[in-house]
Amino acid sequence: MSVEKMLKNASEIALLSAAIPPALMALRFVQGQKQAEAVWRASQYPKMGDIGSVKRLSILPLIDWYTASDDLEGEAGVSYLIRADDTTILFDMGLNKNQEHPSPLLRNMARLGVAFDDIDLIVISHNHLDHVGGMANVKDGIFAPSAGYVNLHQMPAYVPVPITNVSATAIQVDAPMALVPGVASMGPIPRQLFFLGWTPEQSLAINVEGKGMVLIIGCGHPTIQKIIARKEMLFDEPLYGVIGGLHFPVTASRSVRHGIPAQQYFGTGRWPWDHTTKADVHEAISFIYRRDPKVVSLSPHDSCDWSLAAFRDAFGDRYVDLMVGKEIVI
């Protein structure tokens, strides 16, 4: 069975099982884990070859937990403005927890002098509320930068599952593909989450001339080990940078619901009682460290301060604090 067929079947199963009784959630979880591993084993892609390169790359966080100044707004979501030479990419659309219009994303864009007229394409890493603009959007199968209408000029939007926006041109990514010269989606890597279900997530690989590949990651649900393994499957260039979320809420959660540290239970890919540990963080750090990247920046939207400190200590002057309004220039 092809990878595309397996992904389609798994997505259909996830939709059909979304309303199952809690007693059957464990069965769904186990079956989904097996399906995700089967998709991973079958996803043996050839090298992508020469996708080109960019001379200049910058990442400007528009939405994340910490901000570089008091006039910007933080939240437990992600939206990054990526400038790769002459191409400008909006990567994810934040959370907009209170479903406002204009949203925190739009307000931060205005304060940072960013407009949708300046953006060439959109990439959605995965279909979770903190990346597509809120839970209502997840339920409606859409992505949106605000609760009201925003004209996206029918720009291409590369998505890992069938989600849409009335003013964008959604293109579903089922496998690794070049988007523009020097920039590629590495294709979705699925993971079954206990509460949130089937979660295919794509990351970007950007080839910076004379340096190597910079990975831009939304939440890292597939694990950083598999994301880097996919990069090494597709490209021979060295790993130069790792920027974005890796979901390490070890000692705390940015999102708390009814007194429950939600991120320690949701999105880990484990049984609810089997939380992510400090040892898991150190294992991920060691895995990345062996590739000798020159830039590492961990998103705080889904990782606790202890995890940020562990990464900062491990990578020293190669580590960059990821904050809204603080541009990371490669």
In tens, the pLDDT along 243-300 reads 999 999 999 999 988 888 989 988 889 998 999 999 999 999 999 999 999 999 999 9
As beta bridge partners, residue 169 has 156
Closest CA to 290 of 230, 225, 234: 225
| Backbone dihedral region for residue 156 (phi beyond 0: left; psi -120 to 50: alpha; all else: beta) | beta
Confidence check: pLDDT of 21 > 90: no
Whole-number Å distance between alpha carbons of 247 and 245: 6
CATH homologous superfamily for the domain 3-329: Ribonuclease Z/Hydroxyacylglutathione hydrolase-like (3.60.15.10)
Q: Where are the domains positioned within the chain?
A: 3-329
In tens, the pLDDT along 210-228 reads 999 999 999 999 999 999 9
pTM: 0.93
Whole-number Å distance between alpha carbons of 161 and 141: 9
In tens, the pLDDT along 303-315 reads 999 999 999 999 9
In this structure, what token pair is assigned to residue 251?
Answer: 């000692």
Q: What confidence score (pLDDT) does residue 5 get?
A: 52
Q: Where are the alpha helices (DSSP H) in the chain?
A: 3-16, 25-42, 104-112, 129-132, 135-140, 224-234, 278-289, 305-315
Q: What confidence score (pLDDT) does residue 20 get?
A: 56
Indicate the Cα dihedral angle 170, 75, 325, 149, nearest 10°.
40
In tens, the pLDDT along 175-222 reads 999 999 999 999 999 999 999 999 999 999 999 999 999 999 999 999
Whole-number Å distance between alpha carbons of 218 and 8: 22
pLDDT band at 9 (very low <50, low <70, confident <90, very high): very low
Please give the residue that has the higher pLDDT: either 222 or 10: 222
Query: Sheet holding 177-180: strands in order across?
Result: 177-180, 183-185, 204-208, 212-217, 239-244, 295-298
In tens, the pLDDT along 22-44 reads 768 889 999 999 999 999 999 99
Mean pLDDT throughout 114-123? 97
Confidence check: pLDDT of 77 > 70: yes
Mean predicted lDDT score pLDDT of the chain: 94
Whole-number Å distance between alpha carbons of 328 and 257: 32
Q: What confidence score (pLDDT) does residue 16 get?
A: 44
